[in-house]
Amino acid sequence: MVGKGKREQKIAIEAVIVAAITVAGLALQVITGGFNREILAFPANLILITAIPVLLILFKGALKHLASGSLSIILISTVTIIALYMGLVPGNSAKSSWPFALIYLALLINLTASVIIRIRTFKFRKDISFMLNHIGLLILLFSAGPGSADKARYFMRVFEGKVEWRAEKSGGKERAEAVELPVAISLEDFEMDEYPPKLAIIERNTGIALPEKRPIYFEAILNAVSTIERWNLVIDSVLYKPGFAPAAFVRVTDKYSGEATEGWVSCGNYFQHFKTLSLDSTYCVAMTFPEPKEYRSIVEVYTQSGKVKNGVVRVNHPMTIGGWKIYQHSYDSARGRDSVWSLFELVYDPWIIPAYIGMIMMIFGAITLFWKGGKS
Amino acid sequence: MMWDNFIWFSAASMLLWILGVASLYMNKKSSLTGNILISAGLVIFLIFILLLWGDLKHPPLRTMGETRLWYSFFITLVGFVTWLRWRYKWLAGYSVLVSGVFIMVNLLKPEIHFTNLMPALQSIWFVPHVTVYILSYAMFGAATIASFIAIRELKDKSERLMPLIDNLIYIGLGFLMTGMLLGAIWAKEAWGDYWTWDPKEVWAFITAAVYLLYIHARTQKYPLRIILWILPLAFVMLMITWLGVNYLPAAQGSIHVY
């Protein structure tokens, strides 16, 4: 009974300390108006990351208390409560608040301490799952937290045939001023593949496609045929030249009367008006805008240090140069495939390699969870 | 068109899978027949995917219908591997059922031309990200049911279900963490950052954190009458992550709303 009472006392003390840290965070929040992560920028983050394990090893007396499992539970609960606030209150800034930053720091200390204690009695079979999960998480949390102070994101708009090195900081609320980056992009060409536009028979006034319950849209490709309600449609010719809107020459026959109509149909674009083909006073054939299938920028990229790289940047396939990753972000959507510029997002994250190492360790850790199950 | 043959390949696979699971349940002595039947179904399904791949000349990952094809395959595959490792017959059955739902959707509403995936979703990370999540939901769902029974049994001082529940939670968390990390790696490739506290990410984090609480509370040997209530709570968080996020006011503008 004495042991049990002692344990409860320890949990109570830990809970009070964590509550005190949270309250201190709230006070700092009120005084300073928010946690500015820039104070952790290099070399502050590196010092912090080194200091935590060094201090824990030096102050052995504190180590055991800081590695406490019940402390972990209290800290995870507190982080969960903060995350619930993030998830429920619209437009909050909890992720850059003092309470969150301090609890995050406490979690880093608790995690480091428990790894140090466990590492001293390391046995491969017994501890590998613990180590992969906890060290992986620790590296990831260091990179994603203090490390993120060195992260920077910019938008750069480059016109075809031009070189650009000025960019605007992204993520900020107001339009930021352009800054010069150590990376320059020369856009040789912006290209887009599209799905063929589609044809449908619509009610002229409402735009509702036929048949009303299950509208038929068929691709406007040469010799395509379709039957929509009482009309047979045949596409005799398709035109889609660069700079012009797509157009299809459609022949429509009324199944019952045999009456035939034909003409060009086009969805139009930024300078050409759309064109429909009237069937009667209510219905007409119309074309939808082609949807983008894939778009890409053919670029040459230079860094201040003299590196040059040629290649293609497309969605899901960023280009890496130095510590930078260059993403295809968007294009002039009014012009679609005829866009003469491409918008890139440039992300600088010197901590990405450790972050990946942490994630990969955790994936292996997750596999050990699956394989070993709950019998540890 | 290779797609026209889908009905034959999928019917053959489905038949083999159903017979396989039935055989696992009927034949108590040996699971060999069942295992062979399920494996054969997987091989046939994989052959269809590869033929389609050859036919399309690009990996079938560009439309909703093509994505569902991979779900059907991987869910059965991982469900089968989990059965081999942990002998949960119901999971083999469940994964065949979910797989069958995706196959039916593909047959009735193919969406192989009409719903083109936006370019950001055309990624090799998309399918594993979703598949392992679906499997973690299955494990956690089963653990939640077991937790209610275990709570009732506490009155009789019985803890017979605890090894099962712990096992389901560890396996489920393994899937959940894998899903989250694959999502993070994908996000770095597609959106420039591996974690942005997007609303769906916030709730996925909450869900994982609550299951972590369960695991840590178990290792600390806290009383079961408290610990067991964590599981229904965690499952509510899981449901909010999966279905509820889109309806929350804080989630407007999430990249996970399609």
DSSP B44-93: HHHHHHHHHHHHHTS-S-SBHHHHHHHHHHHHHHHHHHHHHHH--HHHHH
**Nearest-by-CA chain B residue for A324:** B192
Mean pLDDT taken over chain A: 92
SS3 at position A335: coil
Q: Where are the domains of chain B?
A: 2-109, 126-251
Q: Quick one: which of A352, A360, A346 has its CA closest to A168?
A: A346
Please say which residue of A287, A312, A338 terminates a domain. Answer: A287
- Provide the shortest C-alpha distance from residue A372 to chain B (in Å): 8
- Say what the pLDDT of residue A1 is: 44
> Between A292, A363, A365, which is nearest B119 by CB?
A292
A366 falls within a domain: no
Alpha helices (H) along chain A: 2-32, 44-58, 60-66, 69-88, 98-119, 124-144, 352-372
Question: So what's the pLDDT on residue A120?
Answer: 92
Q: Tell me what pLDDT residue A18 has.
A: 97
Domain around A311: 153-193+292-348
Within 8 A by CB and 6+ apart from A89, the residues are B250
* pLDDT computed for residue B103 by the predictor: 94
Q: What contacts B237, CB < 8 A, 6 or more positions away?
A: B203, B206, B207, B210
In chain B, which residues have their Cβ closer than 8 Å to the Cβ of A77?
Answer: 213
pLDDT for position B116: 61
Please report whether residue A334 resides in a domain. Answer: yes
CB–CB contact A366 B185 (8 Å) = no
**Residue B56: per-residue pLDDT:** 82
A218 and A304 belong to one structural domain = no
Task: Mark which residues 151-170 of A lie under 8 Å from B by CB.
Answer: 151, 153
Q: How confident is the model at residue B248 (pLDDT cuts 50, 70, 90)?
A: confident
Residues A180 and A44 in one domain: no
Enter the tokens of residue A177: 């001023």
Q: How far apart are the first and last CA of chain B?
A: 29
Interface test with A, best of B77, B133, B177 (most A CBs within 10 A): B177
pLDDT tens string A50-107 = 999 999 999 999 999 999 999 999 999 999 999 999 999 988 899 999 999 999 999 9
pTM: 0.85
For residue B232, whether the previous peptide bond is cis, meaning omega lies within 30 degrees of 0, is no
Q: Is A347 on the interface with B (CB under 8 A)?
A: yes
Task: Looking at the complex, report in whole angstroms how far the Cα of residue B12 sits from the nearest Cα belonging to chain A.
Answer: 30
Task: Please tell me the predicted confidence (pLDDT) of residue B258.
Answer: 46
Does A254 reside within a domain? yes
Among A295, A276, A300, CA closest to A333: A295
Q: Which of A143, A316, A367, A372 to mutate to test the interface with B (most CBs of B within 10 A)?
A: A316
Contact B217 A73 (CB under 8 A): yes
Chain A, window 252-311: residues with a beta carbon less than 8 angstroms from a chain B beta carbon: 291-295
Q: Inter-chain contact B192–A153, Cβ cutoff 8 Å? A: yes
Residue A354 within a domain: no
Q: Which residue of A has its CA nearest to B179?
A: A363
Residues of B in contact with A327 (CB under 8 A): 190-192
Point out the residue among B119, B202, B216 whose CB comes nearest to the CB of A83. B202
Structure tokens at A254: 């009324």
CATH top-level class for B126-251?
Answer: mainly alpha
A303 burial (CB, 10 Å; 0-12 / 13-18 / 19+) is middle
> Do A238 and A246 contact (CB within 8 A), yes or no?
yes
pLDDT of residue A212: 84
pLDDT at B252: 63
| Count of domains for chain A | 3
Does a structural domain hold residue A360? Answer: no
B193, closest residue in chain A (CA to CA): A347
Q: Is A63 helix (H, G, I), strand (E, B) or coil?
A: helix
Whether A80 and A169 map to the same domain: the answer is no
Asked if B119's CB is within 8 angstroms of A316's CB, the reply is yes
Query: Of chain A residues 37-76, which have a CB less than 8 A from chain B?
Result: 69-70, 72-73, 76
- Indicate yes or no: CB of B175 within 8 angstroms of CB of A366: yes
- Is A86 touching B (CB cutoff 8 A)? yes
- Same domain for A180 and A324? yes
Please judge whether B181 and A91 are an interchain contact, meaning their C-beta atoms are less than 8 angstroms apart.
no
Please say if the pLDDT value at position A175 is more than 70: no
Give the C-alpha separation, A355 to A254, whole Å: 64
- ∠ CA A307-A331-A337, nearest 5°, is 110
Q: Which residue of A has its CA nearest to B240?
A: A87
Pairing of strands A152-159, A247-254: unpaired
Are the CB atoms for A295 and A190 separated by under 8 Å? yes
Residue A221: is its pLDDT beyond 50? yes
On whether both A278 and A328 belong to a single domain, the answer is no
The complex scores an ipTM of 0.90
Q: What is the mean pLDDT of chain B?
A: 89
Residue in chain A closest to B174 (alpha carbons) equals A366
Query: Is residue A201 located within the same domain as residue A270?
Result: yes
Per-residue pLDDT band at A180 (split at 50, 70, 90): very high
Which of these ranges, A101-110, A202-211, B178-187, has the smallest mean pLDDT? Answer: A202-211
Inter-chain CB proximity B113 and A219 less than 8 Å: yes
Domain presence at residue A371: no
Q: In this structure, is residue A361 part of a structural domain?
A: no
Using the 8-state DSSP alphabet, how is residue A289 labeled?
P
| A184 in a structural domain | yes
pLDDT band at B113 (very low <50, low <70, confident <90, very high): low
Do A21 and A102 sit in the same domain of this protein? yes
Cα separation values, A17 from A13, A23, A75, A92, A97, Å: 6, 10, 10, 25, 19
Is residue B105 within 8 A of residue B68, CB to CB? The reply is yes
One domain for residues A203 and A262: yes
Strand partners, A233: A226, A252
pLDDT at B115 over 70: no
Q: Which of A88, A91, A373 sits opposite B167 (nearest CB)?
A: A373
- Tell me the mean pLDDT in the region A245-263: 92
Closest Cα to residue A240, out of A202, A272, A200? Answer: A272
Are A189 and A313 within one domain?
yes
Give residue A91's Cα distance to chain centre: 19
The one-letter amino acid at A185: I
In the predicted structure, residue B256 carries a pLDDT above the cut 90? no
Q: Is A83 within 8 Å of B216 when comparing Cβ atoms?
A: no
Residues in B closer than 8 angstroms to A142, CB to CB, are none
Whether residues A182 and A205 share a domain: the answer is: no
For residues A60 and A76, membership in a common domain is answered with yes
The minimal CB distance from A144 to the residues B175, B177, B195 is found for B195
Please check whether residues A93 and A107 belong to one and the same domain. yes
A345 has a chain B CB within 8 A of its CB: yes
